[in-house]
Amino acid sequence: MGADLAPLVRAERIGLRGIQGRVLAVDALNAVYQFLALVRDERGELLRNRRGQPTSHLVGLLTRYSRLALEYRARFIFVFDGPPHPLKRAELERRREARERALQEYRRLLEAGEYEKAFSKAVVSASVDAWIVESSKRLVRLMGFPVVEAVHDAEAQAAYIVARGEAWAVSSQDYDSLLYGSPRLVRYVTLTGFEWLPSKQEARRLEPELIELERVLGSLGITRRQLVELAVLVGTDFNEGVRGVGPRRALKLIKRYGSLDKLPEGLRRQLPENYREVVELYMNPPVNESYQLEFSEPDEEGLYRFLVEENDFSPSRVQLAVERLRRAWRGHAAHQRELGDFLS
């Protein structure tokens, strides 16, 4: 879920043309959860192969990123979460319980024939297992995109990649990459342009939007450390927030007192005992520094074998995606040759 910074962050709508020719570091499981939530049949059931394993995420990854690669010349680095940081265990347990409640309600509504309501529960009951993670990695590698394994949080690793200039922005729905120091975050990189809101039983229209860290800090008049401390007040994946303190009040408190350490004692007592550890985790997260970024031509034979023979995709669907990826690769290679000729 990440920290709730939405009321404080001003985003620039850039549309899909705003990622034209860009390299994005994708929070991979953030995208996978979207596909597991939305790529379903009319009863809200996941798409599956003949062995009963989910394939909704594979459909989503193949379709979205092959089209974006061709139509917008975008390239993608897929960053996957490592083992969760010990501080995140409480949040992960809360999410697991919420998914289990949603799954039970989904089954009840399905038995009652209330398919529309059931679908909304299916959206929030999605969970990821080892098969989903490993099959996602295999697919994007076959598509020609690099995979990077994070030490813990994918958004921390993605922020590191962007800060090094190896990607233009992090692609994620959450704001945490800003806390980790990513210069840029792009949200809502989707083809459909809609997001389902289970609580309201409706969809809202989305358009890709760019958030730049320096602009956020400048408009709020705070430093990145203060932004992190503000988030700790509100609540993060690593700590519960202070009761009654939302983003706007947290901003006022941080600007008035300067830091969490200088808050009035009554407020400071409501912070978790390890709040300094949480702040340092965002400011200096452990990252994998030995990754390799190698883009490659799509493995046509490997894609057919994996998707058609092993996971029951229609050959025509795979052929369409392969053709997109092949054309995107050739276009990128031609562009690089032209650039080399220009610079030589």
Q: What is the DSSP string of 187-232?
A: E---SS-EEEETTTTEEEE---EEEEHHHHHHHHT--HHHHHHHHH
pLDDT band, residue 41 (cuts 50/70/90)? confident
User: Is the separation of the CB atoms in 170 and 159 below 8 Å?
Assistant: yes
pLDDT at 341: 46
pLDDT digits (tens, 9 = 90+) for 165-217: 999 999 999 999 999 999 999 999 998 766 555 555 556 678 899 999 999 99
pLDDT band, residue 106 (cuts 50/70/90)? low
Q: What are 9's two structure tokens? A: 């962050």
CA 188, 191, 197, 198 torsion-angle sign: negative
pLDDT at 120 over 90: no
Last residue of a domain, one of 205, 220, 235: 220
pLDDT at 128 over 50: yes
Residue with tokens 């009761």: 243
Q: Which residue has the higher pLDDT, 157 or 341?
A: 157
pLDDT at 344 over 50: no
The DSSP result for 61-114, as a single string, is: HHHHHHHHHHHS--EEEEEE--SPPGGGHHHHHHHHHHHHHHHHHHHHHHHTT-
Q: In terms of residue numbers, what domain contains 171?
A: 1-220
Query: In this structure, is residue 260 part of a structural domain?
Result: yes
Residues 195, 210: Cα–Cα separation, whole Å: 17
Residues 55, 35: Cα–Cα separation, whole Å: 9
Last residue of a domain, one of 243, 262, 284: 284
If you ran DSSP here, which 8-state letter would residue 288 be given? -
Among 99-108, 215-224, 288-297, 298-307, the minimum mean pLDDT is found in 99-108
> Smallest Cα–Cα separation from 248: which of 236, 225, 230, 266?
230
Residues 65 and 121 in one domain: yes
- With residues binned 3-state (H G I as helix, E B as strand, rest as coil), the percentages for the chain, rounded to 5, are 55, 10, 35
pLDDT at 113 over 70: no
pLDDT digits (tens, 9 = 90+) for 298-330: 999 999 999 999 999 999 999 999 999 999 999
Mean pLDDT (the chain) is 88
Q: CATH number for the domain including 209?
A: 3.40.50.1010
Query: In this structure, is residue 172 part of a structural domain?
Result: yes
Residues 313, 318: Cα–Cα separation, whole Å: 7
* Number of domains into which the chain is organized: 2
Question: Which residues lie across from 224 on neighbouring strands?
Answer: none
Question: Which residues lie across from 76 on neighbouring strands?
Answer: 24
Other C-beta atoms closer than 10 Å to the C-beta of 3 total: 26
pLDDT digits (tens, 9 = 90+) for 63-83: 999 999 999 999 999 999 999
Q: CATH number for the domain including 235?
A: 1.10.150.20
Last residue of a domain, one of 190, 220, 250: 220
Residues 116 and 176 in one domain: yes
Q: Which residue has the higher pLDDT, 127 or 139?
A: 139
253-267 mean pLDDT: 96
Residues 148 and 43 in one domain: yes
Q: What predicted TM-score, i.e. pTM, was given to this entire model? A: 0.89
Residues 114 and 263 in one domain: no
